[in-house]
Amino acid sequence: MAQIIEMPKLSDTMTVGTLVKWLKNEGDAVKNGTMLAEVETDKATMELECFFDGTLLKILAPAGSQVEIGAPLCAIGKPGEKWELPAGKPAPKADVAGSAKSTAQTVDEKSPAPSIAPAKESPAPAPSSSATVAPLPSVASEGQRIRISPLAKKLAAEKGMDPASITGSGPGGRIVRADVLAAEKSGPVKGGTGGGGKSGAGLASTLSSKGPIQDERAVPVSTMRGVIAKRLLESKTQIPHFYLDVEVDAAPLLDLRLQLNSALEKEGVKLSVNDFILKASAEALRRVPAVNASWEQTQIRYFGAAHVSFAVAIDDGLITPVVRDSHLKSIFAISAEAKTLGKLAKEKKLKPDQFTGGTFCVSNLGMMGIDRFSAIINPPNAAILAVGTTVKKPVVEEDRIVIGQRLTLTLSCDHRVVDGAVGAQFLAALRELLEKPALLLI
């Protein structure tokens, strides 16, 4: 009897998975270890592995369908072998949202900015009395070659105009220079008077020379983005957040980092500021273990190990890879592991045990130039640390104003678990470790 492969549970919070696409077709030979399909969970897009040798007899879940855990996906067996579904487990069907999602992903593979028309368009807002809105020009159908002279094409590009929206008057409908100029004059906004001494015609010319911000489109919400939205809403509405921030003298950390990277350059070692923060967070959790906890309704769980996760931005949201037992690892080990996990995260190749089970989270937007921010707690964690950028600013040292390097850290706490005094103790320990970074090398 053929083997039925079912939807596995690929993350701790997963209830359904979206079958993004099949990597094998019916009739293809497969073996143990063959990747059959791509499945999007609430955490990442992962590959579905085959554990049998044989032939892909039947695909039971079409691409784009959302499949519950335990539902049948496909049948594997010998060519011509009979197969049957387990009792009470009908084959999943693609729903409308799933089909739309599949279409969106197919288009996305070909174009970075697809234009997907919604099923129903909302009526356009009425134009203001001070502007005349011209009717939308006809657009060339998909795949149709636009006939345009080289000079007209260059002129349209300079003016930011789409040749497909211009009506040609040349032989065979060819677009010539005069057509581009005429289209510019009959732009979407005419008349009226502009401020600052600029005429309405001048304003219309300025506006018509610029294209839209982006192609207007409606993209179905992915499984990951939907779960992120749900979890963040639950976190913000159900967890009583409070925030503490502290300013850290980052000069000693930056000096030590520079020395270590210079000394160990030949060994390929390159420590980041975030590596120091991950290590310091793990050590601060050792010193103030009350922060390394989780609310469990009728009890508070205090963890015996610091599994520090860090936020990584990916195409459709973010994911938090976990450096397990961070309190037992050197800063060099943490750095190497964080780089590996970050790379896997961006490639969407993390395994479930690499992004689940974190007990504390670090979110760093400093590398993007953000001075300070407050992060939303990632349940079931009781706290999350938001890291800003290092800012050069005047500071007072021994009654003298000097140039300092300052780093702002903001701790978001679950008040059901962490009180203000405990959060303050944690930040004090963290600041001491970062201002005396040699302690992180012990």
Catalytic positions, please?
A: 415
**ω into 380 cis (within 30 of 0):** yes
Angstrom distance (rounded) from CA 176 to CA 174: 6
Determine how many CB atoms are found less than 10 A away from the CB of residue 230: 12
- Encoded tokens for 370: 């953000």
Distance CA 106, CA 314 (A): 19
Angle at 166 between CA 164 and CA 169, to 5 degrees: 120
Inter-CA distances, 396 with 165, 400, 403, 406, Å:
61, 5, 9, 12
The Cα 1–Cα 92 span in angstroms is 21
Cα dihedral 59, 63, 68, 74, rounded to 10, equals 10
Pairing of strands 45-49, 54-59: unpaired
Tokens of 278: 């991950």
Burial of 359 (0-12, 13-18, 19+ CB in 10 A): buried
Note the residue count of the chain.
442
CA distance 191 to 292: 64
Single-letter code of the amino acid located at 284: A
> For residue 314, what are the contacts with CB-CB under 8 A and spacing of at least 6?
44, 345, 346, 348
Please answer whether residues 377 and 414 qualify as being in contact, where contact means their C-beta atoms are separated by less than 8 angstroms.
yes
